[in-house]
Amino acid sequence: MGKFTGSECIICQKRFTEDDDIVVCPDCGTPYHRECWAAKGKCINTSLHAVGGSWGAVQQENLLRHGGKVCPHCQQVNPPDARRCNSCGGDLETEDYAGERVRIPLPNGGEMFFEPQDPCCGLSPDEKMEEERLGDVASFVQKNTPYYVPLFRRFRDTGHKLSLNLTCALFPHLYFAYRKMWSMAIISCIIMIVCSLPNVMLGMLQTLNTPEFMQSLSEMYGVDATEMFTGLTGFLKANEALLENLNVPMYLIGIAIRMLFCLFGNHMYYRFVLKRVGRIRQTAPNAHVRKALLDAEGGTNRWNVLGGIGIYYGLLCGLYMLLMIVFM
């Protein structure tokens, strides 16, 4: 009875216990309480009968998708929190691992353990992450897989897209650059600059109206240098009221967009990973080349953070230069 313990009778919806009297359908293997089977007189799992499926195979597949443990003795798949096999009673704990093991709580109240060196977090590398292998996804993510692998599985299994990413809220362009999402790094830089544009232009007006700045400019480049900013100063003064009215709303819009990055940044990374892994799978001629491409194109790069900073200030300086050229 052990292998049915914890499963549900599909007639009465009650979980089987060790003391239940259980009968199984001879065709698909679906288990029932004896009294439930007697009441119906037949197996009601018609969807399995229609495709010639097996109840046991379906249950094992579901367990694997949710972190089930494969018994090394009989290959039975057990719940993630099981310590002994429900079928043969064999020990499911890793006996030859002497280091510290990492614990991850599961949504159903159970828990799973894995070795820190395992990028798949104790799961099968062949588990499907939509169309891609979990092993390929973990190879692409590389850094911090104990956080991202369970999160990606939750995205896949529940369809939910929300999670918290505070780094993506505070420094979205740096997070995206660090994870090699360059298009999103550039887009987030543009969004932040546009939202801060009224404040930037008000700051420019305040600087240009400072006598000390104009005096130092004339001393360094001559009196004619101050005339270069006459058109820009006039434009900013003429639109000062408009800029002040836009300053707070644009600031609030920027905050709202940062909150969206905070809530959806991880899911954006999830979609990015699956897209890039799928592209590599289609182009790589063999597993060896695929692994090399995953290692090269995935992972993180700390130097990219400097690149993200450079993009932001490069675009900002470009904006300054554009305003100067237009109003010279």
Question: For position 39, which CATH number holds?
Answer: 3.30.40
pLDDT of residue 190: 95
Residue 17 binned pLDDT confidence (cut-offs 50, 70, 90)? confident
Residue 174 clears pLDDT 90, i.e. is over it: yes
Q: Give the residue ranges of DSSP H helices in the chain.
A: 34-40, 46-51, 55-65, 134-141, 145-158, 166-170, 172-178, 182-195, 197-208, 211-221, 224-227, 230-238, 240-283, 287-297, 303-326
Q: What is the mean pLDDT of residues 219-247?
A: 79
Does some domain include residue 168? yes
Residue type present at position 81: D
Q: Which two tokens stand for residue 281?
A: 């799978």
Distance CA 238, CA 28 (A): 80
Last residue of a domain, one of 54, 74, 94: 54
CA gap 192, 171 in Å, rounded: 10
pLDDT score at 212? 80
Task: Report the candidate in 313, 306, 321, 272 with the shortest Cα–Cα distance to residue 189.
Answer: 313
Decide which of 9, 35, 54 is a domain's last residue. Answer: 54
**Residue 147 maps to a domain:** no
Has residue 84 been placed in a domain? Answer: no
- Residues 166 and 306 reside in one and the same domain: yes
Q: Say which residue the tokens 């240098």 belong to.
A: 225
**Euclidean distance between the first and the last CA atom of the chain, given in angstroms as a whole number:** 86
Q: Are residues 171 and 307 in the same domain?
A: yes
**Nearest Cα residue to 164 out of 255, 257, 267, 256:** 267
Is residue 99 predicted with pLDDT exceeding 50? no
Domain that holds residue 320: 162-326
How far is the C-alpha of 8 from the C-alpha of 41, rounded, in Å? 18
Asked if residue 322 is part of any domain, the answer here is yes
> Is residue 108 a part of any domain in this protein?
no
- Whether 316 shows a pLDDT value over 80: the answer reads yes
User: Which of 52-56, 74-78, 170-174, 272-276 is predicted least confidently?
Assistant: 74-78
C-alpha 244 chain-centroid distance: 38
**Chosen domain end from 54, 75, 95:** 54
Exposed e or buried b per residue across 10-19, where buried means at least 16 C-beta atoms within 10 angstroms of its C-beta: ebeeeebeee
Residue 230 or 31, more confident:
31
What's the rounded Cα separation, in Å, for the pair 6 and 89?
15
pLDDT for residue 232: 79
Q: Is residue 156 part of a domain?
A: no
**145-158 and 134-141 are packed helices; what angle lies between their axes, rounded to 10 degrees?**
140
The DSSP 8-state label assigned to residue 84 in this structure reads B
In a domain, 62, yes or no: no
Q: Which two tokens mark 18?
A: 């060790």
pLDDT digits (tens, 9 = 90+) for 217-229: 677 766 565 666 7
Of the candidate ranges 13-27, 69-83, 184-198, 247-261, the one whose mean pLDDT is the lowest: 69-83
pLDDT at residue 288, as a whole number: 85
pLDDT beyond 70 at 100? no
Q: What is the mean pLDDT of residues 154-161?
A: 91
Predicted TM-score of the model (pTM)? 0.64
What value does the mean pLDDT take over residues 208-233? 73
Number of compact structural domains in the chain: 2
Residue 31 sits in the same domain as residue 166: no
Tell me if 4 is assigned to some domain.
yes
Q: How confident is the model at residue 112 (pLDDT cuts 50, 70, 90)?
A: low
Percent residues over pLDDT 70 in the chain: 81
For strands 128-129 and 69-70, give the pairing: unpaired
Query: Of the segments 206-210, 251-255, 291-295, which one has the largest average pLDDT value?
Result: 251-255
Determine which of 9-13, 33-37, 66-70 has the lowest per-residue pLDDT on average. Answer: 66-70
